[in-house]
Amino acid sequence: MHTMISGQVSPQGVTSLPLQAFDAAADATTQAPALSDELLRRMDRPGPRYTSYPTADRFVEAYTADHYRQALEQRASGAIGAAGGPLSVYVHVPFCESVCYYCACNKIVTKDHGRASAYIDALAREAGLVTDVLGRGHSVTQLHFGGGTPTFLDDGELDRLMGILRQHFMIEPRGEYSIEIDPRTVTRARLRHLADLGFNRLSYGVQDFDADVQKAVHRVQPFEQVQALMVDARDLGFQSINVDLIYGLPRQTPESYARTIRQVASLRPDRIAMYGYAHLPQRFKPQRRIVPDELPSGADRIGMLSQAISGFIAHGYQYIGMDHFALPEDSLAQAKRQGRLHRNFQGYSTQADSDLIALGVSAIGRVGATYSQNAKTLDEYYDALNRNELPIVRGLALTRDDLVRRAVIMAIMCHGRLSFESVSLAHLIDVKTYFAAELDAIRELADDGLLSLDADGFELTPLGWYFVRSVAMVFDKHLRADLSRERFSRVI
């Protein structure tokens, strides 16, 4: 049950509330642990987000379509993975009508909607190639459409794409089916159509509500537009709504971002994902349009992060990990409390550690102890499919050491604790010997108050959860051996 401060209650129990109601409630709720500027600055370094381990930058071109086919065959035969367990499916839709200057996603900016039909043809061929090996009719309990802008597709194209997926997979009625939404591309009628197709979760790309910031990043969408769509989505029965935010954008100030935090909290999304902007114009061409002098200082970034954490917790959100928050009633918060939290290429998840079939240009999947990635350009992706070949261009077969470290890093990222005995028994190692150097390094983080360490293992403190990436990085063998870390976003 949602405790309402004031305002109207939607059929789902939550809707937008007056901003002053949240300000009045802040004093009555639990505040975030004290975050000193000195600690924030010391921990502010580049590092992976660990949606996988090893991370995608470690994939190699020596891993080919033949290796992926072998992994699918082994899963089909029960040799690897949970052959009888449900799958997760990710579909990448790369098209956008306009470019957002901060964007680092794989996308194709075009106003030619005619390109969508050929792309759906290609997705159908890829799904067919996958299920020719894996077999049709495997149960799917998690589906995510990402991009780009998945709502670049019109209603008929979305109908066709979902029909293709249902031809190849068994989309279970009680799964989690989500789609990323650009609020500028949908109406109430479009949201109703998404619900009719079976989507039950939405993720709105907001980033910031300040008009000056929106102009600087070429993404203008008024608060009132998103507010109306939030009310519509609740009325239509969507189970969970996420809002994406970014701090560190040009023209942002601690004062302007505080307003955005209050506005987002007033909308009462079930989940909030808040990312730090990584300015890497040498890698991402759209970012060259951002004026470097308009970016906030390091001190202002730290201030925005600190006030956002305190603000969302004061407004009743629970901290999930890294920069994710959820209402206590949301399934993600429940999964964390019950020790069922998982992590995959889409971030935190309530779904078990299942294999992920990835479809579309640049999409990354996982089958058993392997990762694979599709061609990153549309021409290369189409060429492979026209040759009747799976469009894999790189990937990785995990070593025994990778598997051990993956188990440790995911335990830290999802549960905030590590049991030496559990890892030792599961992987037939002596953890204290195997990770002797890492456990020595962990003691420094314990001295900073980020974790408690004893003979049986360690556990993150409430303060340590805000630096969970820094703790996980200690166990990343590849990262320790790499002298260049500019490929990653910063932890803060």
Q: Which of 61, 67, 94, 98 is nearest to 377 (CA)?
A: 94
Confidence of residue 484 (pLDDT cuts 50, 70, 90): very low
Residue 9 has pLDDT above 70, yes or no: no
Q: What is the mean pLDDT of residues 482-489?
A: 53
Given a contact cutoff of 8 angstroms between Cβ atoms, the answer to whether 488 and 46 are in contact is yes
Please, what is the Cα angle at 313 between 311 and 317, to 5 degrees? Answer: 120
Structure confidence at residue 1 (pLDDT): 31
417-419 and 457-460 strand pairing: antiparallel
Residue 83 has pLDDT above 90, yes or no: no
Three-state secondary structure call for residue 294: helix
Structure confidence at residue 339 (pLDDT): 86
Residue 131 has pLDDT above 50, yes or no: yes
How many whole angstroms separate alpha carbon 251 and alpha carbon 324? 23
Taken in order of first residue, the domains within the chain and their CATH numbers are 19-30+61-356 (3.80.30.20), 400-482 (1.10.10.920)
How many whole angstroms separate alpha carbon 248 and alpha carbon 104? 14
| Lowest mean per-residue pLDDT among 168-182, 234-248, 311-325, 400-414 | 311-325
Structure confidence at residue 41 (pLDDT): 75
